[in-house]
Structure 1
């Protein structure tokens, strides 16, 4: 990315920084007072053997702060969200295998580096915060958000608050067994939802059953009309997801279920069979609405920006950072 440039006076007061640490890339953005992204930096998150992955995150935070100052937009707070087991209250990432974090006091490290108020959060729970403030769950106190990406984690919102759980690991629904005794999962269990219905799992399963290894989930979705294996893998994925949503519905009684991540971009091809499977698994009660995320791939970043504003003591009005145009339900 090219260096930022200045044009005129400050972008605004009340700017915040938001960093989303993923399994393959880290994305950092500068949000202005109105919740609009003014600058973004994307770097690889897979650190090589000679570089500490924690140093890579800290370096991105410093770079983003410096870019904001160059744009005459001094930030008032920052939030970093990661996958894994995240203790938000303590500001510690307890464990995140994809980014090689274990017991990392990330809030203290970033605060020492930047001298700003810092929030640390879980990426899926942050995405849920974004949807609650200005997205597909706006105005709801009880809902679920499932980003369908490399893996599957859920944001469980009850009485308006994301639920972290007793060990800060609530929402690991990707490891819910949907086919007991089924195919092995890297976690050590068998039949996990993530094996069948995550974007990464779907592509791996297609290749393992004899399909072209290079095809990702989008390509597999596009091939379902002509490729019987793609059709079979896709049907298994949507049925597994609908079954899991039925279990979550009976357990938590959400007013709405929001699906995000790359797989949700398939639109009606995903949503129609998932809704059908959910309805068919619920004999005595109505199924909740199942809608696409309003923010898509940037939901976790928007949620991180909300957390950063709160850490800085700034208000977050309802609708802050809302998408310019609302998505149409699949």
Structure 2
């Protein structure tokens, strides 16, 4: 049935490529997200990426485009992104001159759809990418839960330290300020720290977190404190989530998940320590790794291809 073009927009990089219906990614490409140049420049960069991927190649063109972006998103508008500063950007602004269907969606929820379609899945799971920011895809009874307005899963803005560090969303003490890649980098004095606004982040954030972890392993006291506080903040937020929704598993994805057992081992221990009367859910890394966001964007595209089958 051909392929769709897919773009996953992160706070640091944009990932794009062609995705077949079985989730295979071809012609993978990364481009920098020009966040520092302002919202109009980011929109223009995304639009140029979309146009490049949508053009015909060797007589064939994608059947549709799937575009996954962070923040508050509807099928017709990128409503708000603190990281980028845009508000109410219509899908047409990302797709000027493109004459195939274009589907717009939230990056983390789209990555969650990919986990359900192509990963290990699960009926009651929290998929939690930790990248430049933090947001979650809430899976209840095998289906993604969007909430009343479609914006469920903003776990990055659970207050883990009331009155604590400022967050780009306008609150203080948010999980994202302590445990996102951007938040850890900023608190450790690593270049590339982000503001941790009302944005998810299925990818990105790995560079700052990698440097923080490198310093931890080298015995740096400040980095060790930042890493430890990030684990404790995650454990507190996940304990609250567990007691309310009783997930079978928490699946950690995004750039920070590349830390592997350096993150997951201490997180399992800290989470179990905060759940005195019940067993903690399984905590594991995403089986799709860094591919989840782009595969999810591909699913967005396949969702608007006439006659295409549903979730695999």
TM-score by length of 1: 0.82
Alignment match of 2:52 (pick from 47, 57, 63)? 63
| Structure 2: gaps of 5 or more residues | 193-206
Aligned to 1:162: 144
Aligned to 1:221, what secondary structure does the other structure show? Answer: helix
Q: 1:111 to 1:200 in 2, by over 3 A?
A: closer
In structure 1, the partner of 2:297 is 304
For this pair of structures, how many residues does the alignment match?
Answer: 295
Which of 68, 82, 87 is the matching residue for 1:102? 87
User: Distance between the aligned counterparts of 1:57 and 1:111, measured in 2?
Assistant: 9
Q: Kindly indicate whether the alpha-carbon contact (under 8 Å) linking 1:223 and 1:230 is maintained by their aligned counterparts in 2.
A: yes
**Cα distance between partner residues in 1 of 2:153 and 2:291:** 19
2:13 matched to 1:25?
Answer: yes
Post-superposition offset of 1:113 = 2.8
Is it true that 1:79 corresponds to 2:51 in the alignment?
A: no
After superposition, give the CA deviation of every residue in 1:247-284 in whole Å (9 maximum; x if it has no partner).
11111111211101111111111001111111111122
SS in 1 for 2:112: helix
**Structure 1 residue 45: Cα displacement:** 2.5
Match of 1:283 among 272, 276, 295: 276
CA 1:276–1:54: 2 relative to 1, 3 Å: same
Among 124, 128, 133, which residue is 1:151 paired with? 133
Match of 2:309 among 305, 311, 315: 315
Higher Cα radius of gyration: 1
Q: Which residue of 2 aligns with 1:16?
A: 4
**Is residue 210–residue 259 contact of structure 2 (8 Å, CA) maintained in 1?**
yes
Asked if 1 retains the 8 angstrom alpha-carbon contact of 2:248 and 2:282, the reply is yes
The alignment partner of 2:97 has SS state of helix
Q: How does 1:45-60 map to 2 (within 5 A)?
A: 45-46=33-34, 48=37, 52-60=41-49
Asked whether 1:246 is paired with 2:235, we answer: no
Equivalents in 2 of 1:290, 1:71: separation in Å? 45
Hey, what does 1:260 align to over in structure 2? Answer: 253
* Runs of at least 4 residues off by over 4 Å: 49-52, 108-112, 212-215
Map 1:215-234 → 2, pairs under 5 A:
216-225=208-217, 226-234=219-227
The counterpart of 1:113, out of the listed 97, 107, 124, is 97
In structure 1, C-alpha distance between the alignment counterparts of 2:160 and 2:95, rounded to whole Å: 42
Residue 63 (structure 1) shift: 0.6
User: Does the C-alpha gap of structure 1 residues 216 and 105 become closer, same or farther in structure 2, counting only changes over 3 Å?
Assistant: closer
Aligned equivalents of 2:147, 2:97: Cα separation in 1: 30
The 1:113/1:253 distance shift into structure 2, 3 A limit, reads farther
SS in structure 2 of the partner of residue 75 of structure 1: coil
Deviation per CA, 1:185-237, whole angstroms, max 9, x where unpaired? 23222211111111111111112xxxx65883212212324222222211111
C-alpha distance in 1 between matches for 2:166 and 2:26: 43
Other structure's SS at 1:97 match: coil
